[in-house]
Amino acid sequence: MLSEFSAIEGRSAGFWKLLAGLVVLVLMGAGSFVYVEIHGHAVTGMNNQIVWGLPHVFAISLLIMASGALNMGSMSTVFAVKQFEQFGRFSAFLSIALLIGGLTVLMLDLGRPDNMLLPMIHMNFRSMFTWNVFLYTGFMTLCLLYLWTMFEYKQYKKLIGTAAFGWRLVLTTGTGSIFGVIQGREVFGSAITAPTFVAISLTSGTALGILLLVYTFRFTRRELDDRLIFGMRNALIFFLLLVAYLLVVEKFTRLYDPASYDVESWILTGPWAWLYWLGVWGIGVLIPLTLMFNRNIGNSVNGVLMASAYVVIGAFCFVAHTLLAGQSYPFDLFPGYTISSAFLDGDAGRYAPTLNELLLGLGGVGISGLIYVLGIRFFRMLPEKGQVPKGWELPWSP
Amino acid sequence: MTMDRRSVLGLGGAIAAGVALAPGLRLIAAPETSPGSVAASTPGKRWAMLIDTSRCSSDCSACVSACRTENNVPLFGDPERDIHWIRKVELRDQSQRKAPVSLPVLCNHCEQPPCVHVCPTEASFIRHDGLVLIDKHRCIGCRYCIIACPYKARSLVFYKTKPPKDTNPNVPIRAAGVVEKCTFCAHRLDEGKLPACVEACAKADKGAMLFGDLNDPKSEISQRLLKEKSQTIRPDLGLKPHVHYQGI
């Protein structure tokens, strides 16, 4: 018999401090938005070659994690992994919180945020952005319904949970396809971009779920069976291997094509190479895998937490690298020629994020955090004890 | 009135469902007419440009200056954020077998424009005479079109500006946060004039830019494109651009 659900008490000084910290983040984000609105995007680090900067990195990272955060719910509802059923509510609610945070940043970084409702009125169904409007709102609707069925109408849980699972795969495919369908920039335009985004959402969503679950249980002094975290660790290892596979296949395919030598050597050795090697591969894949495969570290909850933190940072680096390296690569208007102009043709795009971009992005994190904290404070999102079902054994450990 | 948590969740779900479905049901009706209505354009035409680079010299930027004056395009002194509807590009052959080439690059008014394909609000659209234009009132400043354009032909207005004293009233005023680009001087075409850059090039005794209607087989541009060798930028992308070059 699994434990009852209850809201957290939320009376401790720590709770109020956390809440205050998140409110400060949101206010700083709001202030930054107003500042950019008054002065124009000239006060950001963006320019006519790098038109999507740090706010987009935050927004897309949050959106990817929103999709991945549904993992625990999907694993129990769709794949009948019973021990994760108790985290279904947490999982669906976290998805909603992250989605709202990401979308807020995305909308507030528009050049004309006062026109943000226009995509609802004038729609171009050939645009990936239009598809994403439906995908995001549809995902939020399904997550809310999923949550509702977990609270009240359990007979529909399987149906809605399965629909949400399918939707999230399409959703992240849509997010990845924003770049995957672009043929005009050499770094973008790959059919493997969308599946890689899906895989990154699986790793980062699971990792963020682990982090939040463990720290929420610790701060609220609730019991959480370590074996549950180790079960999630195993899933995280599998997802990381999937990411590594997709990254290798993409590079192998591109490097096989002589036409891609220039762009690939630029990616692997150019100005953003550090982000690729250190951020995407090092922090995002190799370090967490090494930690989790280590017999001592991988079998301690703190070790898994550390690996999870690396995975989340790695996902952020992956999005940053995709966006910034993709936009920085100089336009090759006339192959075989060296070009120059007053519009900086032939030059790699330069980008140094400004403080207001960072604050706007962190404001989105603050919004997601605030929704999450208030959600678990007022709704019965979490079990009083995180237990494993009787007779369940962890199938594998390092 | 108090609401229990079940009602809050139910209401939240209902609102989210409404938001998701409202666009599909078109509860808020979109205007029927497209921004580039037939009456305002030159129907039946298919405008295109041919640039003879052998007549274009690196010390001449008459086309760029004329464009800036005609379309009130300011210079902010910030090369990375300046607005460029047309710019002069210098080409140097990497094998150093050919002489350097100087040429103007502008929006190619493609037949398959990726900027129009990706624009979520149809702010970027193709007019009936093939011009690719932007409805500034409909642009939300998402910049996806800038990402999609392979010619670097679009600029975001990064700075807030005031119209200059000698502003051309025939051109829409500039709005910060929206994207803009070359219009082939649509306002001039509608009056039967040539684009400002083409006119300036002819005045400078260069005659490097030829502008005309591809739908008219007797037009000079149709004849020259038929008989003389020319090329477009990045033909591999299949966008069918309508700015052609000779002498590269």
Three-state SS across chain B?
A: CCCCHHHHHHHHHHHHHHHHHHHHHCCCCCCCCCCCCHHHCCCCCCEEEEEEHHHCCCCCCHHHHHHHHHCCCCCCCCCCCCCCCEEEEEEEECCCCCCCEEEEEECCCCCCCHHHHHCCCCCEEECCCCCEEECCCCCCCCCHHHHHCCCCCCEECCCCCCCCCCCCCCCCCCCCCCEECCCCCHHHHCCCCCCHHHHHHHHCCCCCEEEEECCCCCCHHHHHHHHCCCECCCHHHCCCCCEEEECC
With CB atoms and an 8 Å threshold, state whether B19 touches A121. no
Binary contact (A340, B177; C-beta < 8 A): no
- pLDDT per residue over A29-88, tens digit each? 999 999 999 999 999 999 999 999 999 999 999 999 999 999 999 999 999 898 999 999
B124 Cβ contact list (under 8 Å, min separation 6): B113, B115, B116, B132, B133, B134, B135, B139, B145, B179
CA–CA min distance A182, chain B (Å): 6
> A340: nearest CA in chain B?
B90
CA A302 to CA A150: how far, in whole Å?
30
From chain B, the residues in CB contact with A157 under 8 A are none
Kindly indicate the confidence band of residue B28, based on its pLDDT and cuts at 50, 70 and 90: very low
Does the domain at residues B41-246 carry the CATH identifier 3.30.70.20?
yes
Out of A49, A121, A337, the one facing B93 most closely (by C-beta) is A337
Sorting pLDDT into bands at 50, 70 and 90, what band is B31? very low
pLDDT band at residue B36, thresholds of 50, 70 and 90? very low
Residue B165 confidence class, pLDDT cut points 50, 70, 90: confident
For residues A235 and A243, is the Cβ–Cβ distance under 8 A? no
Q: How many residues does chain A have?
A: 398
Chain A residue with Cα closest to B89: A341
pTM: 0.92
Decide which of 3.40.50.2300, 3.40.50.920, 1.20.1630.10, 1.10.10.10 is the CATH code for A5-386: 1.20.1630.10
Q: Is the pLDDT of residue B163 over 90?
A: no
Six-digit token pair at B132?
Answer: 């690719």
User: Which of B190, B193, B192, B196 minimizes the C-alpha distance to B106?
Assistant: B196
Alpha helices in chain A (DSSP H): 13-39, 54-68, 71-77, 88-108, 118-121, 128-151, 157-180, 193-219, 226-256, 261-269, 273-274, 287-293, 301-328, 355-378
Checking if the pLDDT of B17 tops 90, the result is: no
Tokens 């769709």 belong to residue: A78
Chain B residues within an 8 Å CB radius of A49: 80, 152
ipTM attached to this prediction: 0.95
Q: Residue A218 has what pLDDT?
A: 97
pLDDT band for position B2 (cuts 50, 70, 90): low
What's residue A31's pLDDT?
Answer: 98
The whole-number average pLDDT for the span B98-112 is 96
Q: How far apart are CA B144 and CA B141, in angstroms?
A: 8
A-chain residues near B102 (CB < 8 A): none
Coil, helix or strand for A8? coil
- The answer to whether B158 touches B79, Cβ cutoff 8 Å, is no
Whether the predicted pLDDT of B25 surpasses 50: no
Interface test with A, best of B3, B97, B134, B143 (most A CBs within 10 A): B143
pLDDT in tens, B182-198: 999 999 999 999 999 99
Q: Evaluate if residue B24 carries a pLDDT over 60.
A: no
d(CA A63, CA B218): 55
Query: DSSP assignment, residue A188?
Result: S
The span from the CA of B173 to the CA of B157, in Å, is 12
Give pLDDT, residue B43.
72
pLDDT of B22 over the 60 cut: no
A115–B89 C-beta distance less than 8 A: no
With tokens 């400043």, the residue in question is B141
Res B13: pLDDT: 63
Interval B180-239: pLDDT, tens: 999 999 999 999 999 999 999 999 988 999 999 999 999 999 999 999 999 999 999 999
More confident residue, B21 or A167: A167
DSSP three-state, residue A388:
coil
Rounded CA-CA distance A203/A308 in Å is 9
Q: Which residue type is seen at B138?
A: R
Euclidean distance between the first and the last CA atom of chain B, given in angstroms as a whole number: 76
Mutate to test the interface with B, among A5, A41, A156, A263 (most CBs of B within 10 A): A41
Q: Spell out the domain ranges in chain B.
A: 1-30, 41-246
Length of chain B: 248
Segment (H or E) for A383 = strand A382-383
Q: Where are the domains of chain A?
A: 5-386
Both tokens of A343, joined, read 């519009």
Residues of chain A with pLDDT under 50: none
Please list every residue in chain B whose beta carbon sits closer than 8 Å to the beta carbon of residue A341: 87-90, 105
Please count the CA atoms within 13 angstroms of the CA of B67 that sit on its side-chain side: 24
* C-alpha A364: how far from chain center: 12
Instruction: Give me chain B's average pLDDT, please.
Output: 88
Q: With 80 as the cut, is the pLDDT of residue B35 above it?
A: no
CA atoms of A200 and A76, how far apart (whole Å): 20
pLDDT at residue number A392: 87
Contact A40 B141 (CB under 8 A): no
